[in-house]
Amino acid sequence: MKNQIIPSLWFDNNAIDAFEFYSNIFPNTFVTKHSPIVVEGTILGVNFIGINGGPQFKPNNSISFMQVYESRDEINRIWKDLSLKGEIVMPLDTYPWSDYYGWVNDEYGISWQLYFGKLTDVNEQALVPTLMFCGVQQGNCAEAIAFYETIFKDLTNQGKLAYPESNVKGQIMHAQFIANGLTLVAMDSGIPQNFTFNEGVSFTILCKNQDEIDYYWNTITALGEESQCGWCKDPYGISWQIVPTGIGKLINSNPKAGDALFKMKKIIISELLNA
């Protein structure tokens, strides 16, 4: 099963504004379609979804997006735009892991790490979702990756590095893996944090039939939590949306399908079709 995994961002009803902002500053970034509820597009060549969900959830630094550039000038240009109305988490500087690096939250609350390095190090994927296990999930990074290996049968581990410091010794300082073709980075936080994963950033898994929906839903929620409309959480609090490919078209083709969807937890395709 190699279903596409799409990072999905929760916005306070300004998703199209955010994606247009990203289109103006990031290379290889554009909107492919949008509606009052959902924006679809690519950011640095990686597929993304924007959700006009309202003020209920806000992204935080537990899931950020590392952009890898081979040009300092490009980093400087993009940093200027992101930080203009944003919040600097770590200033552009030299760090042990990169000669030139900075971390910033943009004006929409999305968290970006700008990293000067080689694209070959991240499988030529210029933007890499980065999971930071912190708060109540501190120390769970290695266990979570092992759990994802049970879900994504073709998951490829590309290395782990543990912290040497005593307070988090043995926890994961950096890990990289590929799940269903998407490169991700994961780590335990090096310092205590007062936040953890929430619905502000989720991952959508596109499924071509009910068997695939059943597989991902049942595997993720066996030790996790069910929510509404195809949303669920894994045991580590990361949110997933398990949806059929073309769900928008399916909903629009039947005026009653939308009402049926809101009554569901796991999506049942036949019930949407026959609503």
If DSSP codes are grouped into helix, strand and coil, which group holds residue 186?
strand
DSSP code for 137: G
Query: Environment class of residue 65 by beta-carbon count within 10 Å: exposed (0-12), middle (13-18) or buried (19+)?
Result: buried
Q: Which amino acid is at 35?
A: S
**Superfamily of the domain at 5-188:** 2,3-Dihydroxybiphenyl 1,2-Dioxygenase, domain 1 (3.10.180.10)
Q: Which of 76, 130, 80, 133 is nearest to 101 (CA)?
A: 76
How many CA atoms are closer than 13 Å to the CA of 258, on its beta-carbon side?
A: 7
DSSP H helix total and E strand total for the chain: 7, 16
Q: Can you tell me the distance from the alpha carbon of 273 to that of 95, in angstroms, rounded to the nearest whole number? A: 54
Q: What is the CB neighbour count within 10 angstroms for residue 235?
A: 16
Measured distance CA(144)–CA(66) in Å, rounded: 20
Per-residue pLDDT of the chain (275 residues; tens, 9 = 90+): 467 999 999 999 999 999 999 999 999 999 999 989 999 999 999 999 999 999 999 999 999 999 999 999 999 999 999 999 999 999 999 999 999 999 999 999 999 999 999 999 999 999 999 999 999 999 999 999 999 999 998 899 999 999 998 889 999 999 999 999 999 999 999 999 999 999 999 999 999 999 999 999 999 999 999 999 999 999 999 999 999 998 888 777 777 888 889 899 999 999 998 87
